[in-house]
Amino acid sequence: MPRRNNRRKPRQIPRGNGGGATRAPRVTMMKRFQYVEQVKLTNATSLYAYMAEYKYPELSRCKGALNQFTAYELWRLCRMKVSIQLAGGTEDSASQALMNDVANTTIWTASDFGANEYVSGEQLMQYQNAKRNTLSLNRWTPIVDTSCHVNCSLKTVEGESNTSRFILPRSTWINTQEGSDSKFYSGYQLFIQNFANQSVSVNHTPTYQLQTELWVEFKQPGFQSLPTTFSARFYDNNLRLMLNEGDTTFTELTPKSIMESRQGTIITYEYAGVDYPFTPEQIIDILATNTADSRFGGRRAQYDGTVPYRTRVVQTPPFTLIGTTFDVPSIPRSYSIVAAGETTVDAKWGSNNIDVVNMSDIAPRIADGTYTNWSGPDVIGW
């Protein structure tokens, strides 16, 4: 008796355009994105310390996720998975007994398509799909594995302003031009109890790490995305800085402009009306050291984007600097270099001369943003 061949027939990929009627788009790609965040207990009763929150999927927090939205026209969030682990204390880790926190922490979760309640607290235990978990010292504990649905408002009567809330099917596709904001998707209820910290101040309560995995499907590869638009969105990532001496929290800056220069891609951030341009070398230094340059006193910094493009090193003879103009950010005046020697240059604003600058200092001052709007030749390499 001949043996039956149970192997599946391989999927046929359409070849060429051919003729006949066009069919619905079928080419898709599944991507997994993930991010890690920290949460703390924020309240207490006479029995336990706790936190209660509705957690949305946040695609915008996934590094590099925005790049995929330029390459496709449609997307949808298919699945959300979350794991939890105990972290060290942000204020005083020595004051926490990790074993005690592991033994006394209970995590309640419930997938919630409706997103009707923002804080459930103990009522979450009565959800039919509520799950209870404890922590582990040496592994992540899975606490959520659910599909997500779009929550939206639609007009129920034509011509009137009244609307009603609807939960759309999982098969709903979203236009990628809306960006990577996914907070209109449903998430889950999170309720954490710790029965050993009800009398501990908030600064000393345990800290937990949440790892969120988002499975996103893309459809219809994009054709009309312009390279300039792609470049701008490719580097459209945030920079977090401790701007002032004594800061304990980061200030998040968003890109104001992205332009190409002789040094490569320059990303300019704005804060309180002041522009802060960053060269590729400065971004790379932040990624390597988690510290900013001299403009911010070498304080802590974080960058969550892609490394900008760099150009090769080019040397320029000193005499070509004559007539070059630049602006000093702290002084809204344009200066012109009026003399250049083998080792020094001199610049003036009107009849006011500034200090003579060593030739070797020109490139670093451009790189760290002391000189901006540089209109002269490339001086990298001095």
Burial of 228 (0-12, 13-18, 19+ CB in 10 A): exposed
Nearest Cα to Cα of residue 289 among 279, 280, 298, 277: 298
Most confident of 120-129, 335-344, 358-367: 120-129
Cβ(339)–Cβ(322) below 8 Å: yes
Average of per-residue pLDDT across 243-271: 79
Task: Give the pLDDT of residue 229.
Answer: 54
**pTM reported for the whole predicted model:** 0.58
The secondary element (H helix, E strand) that includes residue 241 is strand 239-241
Q: How confident is the model at residue 32 (pLDDT cuts 50, 70, 90)?
A: very high
Phi, psi torsion values for 87, nearest 5 degrees: -115, 170
Distance CA 268, CA 238 (A): 11
Average of per-residue pLDDT across 166-190: 86
Nearest Cα to Cα of residue 149 among 170, 174, 179, 173: 170
Q: How confident is the model at residue 107 (pLDDT cuts 50, 70, 90)?
A: very high
What is the tens place of the pLDDT at every residue in 311-321?
A: 654 445 555 67
Distance CA 340, CA 348 (A): 12
Distance CA 149, CA 154 (A): 15
Q: Report DSSP state, residue 185.
A: B
Token code pair at residue 8: 């599946």
Side chain identity at residue 216, one-letter code: V
Q: How confident is the model at residue 140 (pLDDT cuts 50, 70, 90)?
A: very high
Task: Give the pLDDT of residue 136.
Answer: 87
Find the DSSP H helices in the chain. 65-71, 98-104, 227-234, 280-289, 359-367
* 3-class secondary structure, 231: helix
Query: What domains can be seen in the chain, in order of their start residue?
Result: 28-221 (2.60.120.950), 235-303 (no CATH), 318-367 (no CATH)
| Higher pLDDT among residues 92 and 220, named by residue | 220
The mean pLDDT of the chain is 79
CA distance between the termini of the chain: 82
Query: Does position 226 have pLDDT exceeding 50, yes or no?
Result: no
Q: How many C-beta atoms lie closer than 10 Å to residue 336's C-beta?
A: 15
Q: How confident is the model at residue 57 (pLDDT cuts 50, 70, 90)?
A: very high
Task: Give the pLDDT of residue 249.
Answer: 82
Residue 31 bridge partners (DSSP): 216
Query: Does position 190 have pLDDT exceeding 90, yes or no?
Result: yes
User: What's the CA dihedral at 53, 54, 60, 64 to 10 degrees?
Assistant: 80
Query: Does position 182 have pLDDT exceeding 80, yes or no?
Result: yes
Average of per-residue pLDDT across 245-263: 78
Distance CA 237, CA 304 (A): 6
Q: Report DSSP state, residue 161.
A: -
Query: Does position 145 have pLDDT exceeding 50, yes or no?
Result: yes
CA gyration radius, the chain: 28
Query: Does position 70 have pLDDT exceeding 50, yes or no?
Result: yes
Task: Give the pLDDT of residue 95.
Answer: 46
Average of per-residue pLDDT across 137-157: 87
